[in-house]
């Protein structure tokens, strides 16, 4: 039977590996953390920019939509059937106009704040309209 004798001396290569491997692992972990944080910050910036661009695009679409509706309502206000304030003529005109205009509801206000509904009837607004609706 052979006796094995364990030497308390560790070879130089093994000692170097015992020092280098933990340092290499630590370096990899630090680089991984730095990369992760950089990627997260970059991704946040990209998402923020994309959301901002989408918000600006939607704002422009809403502005264009409202501008077109205001233009249509200004054109409607110039129609003789509307500005002559003949209620019977307004009702008939608005009923026909609603069928083709893309508007679902509309009512007119006279100088006293009385509302005219094209389907019939009169409605008083909850609070009087003051000032000008024009810009």
pLDDT tens sequence across 10-34: 788 888 888 899 999 999 999 999 9
Q: Are 56 and 104 within one domain?
A: no
The count of domains in the chain is 2
> What distance in Å separates the CA atoms of residue 39 and residue 20, rounded to the nearest whole number?
28
Asked if 31 and 62 sit in the same domain, the reply is yes
Q: What is the full DSSP assignment across 36-95?
A: HHHHHHHHHHHHHHHHHHHHHHHHHHHHHHHHHHHHHHHHHHTSHHHHT--HHHHHHHHH
For the chain, 135 residues long, the average pLDDT of each consecutive 10-residue run is: 65 87 95 96 96 97 94 90 84 85 79 69 50 49
In terms of phi and psi (left: phi > 0; alpha: psi -120 to 50; beta: otherwise), the region of 33 is alpha
Task: Determine, yes or no, domain membership for 46.
Answer: yes
Residues 72 and 91 in one domain: no
| Domain boundary, last residue among 78, 109, 129 | 78
What integer pLDDT is reported at residue 121 of this predicted model? 42
| 63 lies in the same domain as 96 | no
CB 92 within 8 A of CB 83: no
Residue-number span of the structural domain to which 52 is assigned: 11-78
């Amino acid at each position: 039977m052979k006796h094995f004798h364990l030497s308390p001396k560790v070879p130089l290569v093994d000692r170097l590996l015992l020092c280098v491997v933990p340092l290499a692992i630590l370096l990899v972990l630090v680089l991984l953390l730095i990369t992760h944080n950089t990627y997260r910050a970059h991704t946040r910036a990209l998402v923020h920019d994309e959301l901002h661009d989408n918000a600006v695009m939607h704002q422009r679409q809403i502005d264009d939509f409202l501008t077109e509706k205001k233009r249509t309502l200004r054109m409607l206000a110039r129609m003789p059937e509307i500005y002559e304030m003949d209620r019977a003529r307004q009702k008939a005109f608005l009923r026909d106009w609603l069928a083709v205009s893309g508007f679902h509801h509309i009512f007119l206000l006279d100088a006293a704040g009385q509302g005219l509904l094209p389907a019939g009837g009169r409605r008083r607004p909850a609070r009087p309209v003051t000032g000008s609706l024009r810009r």
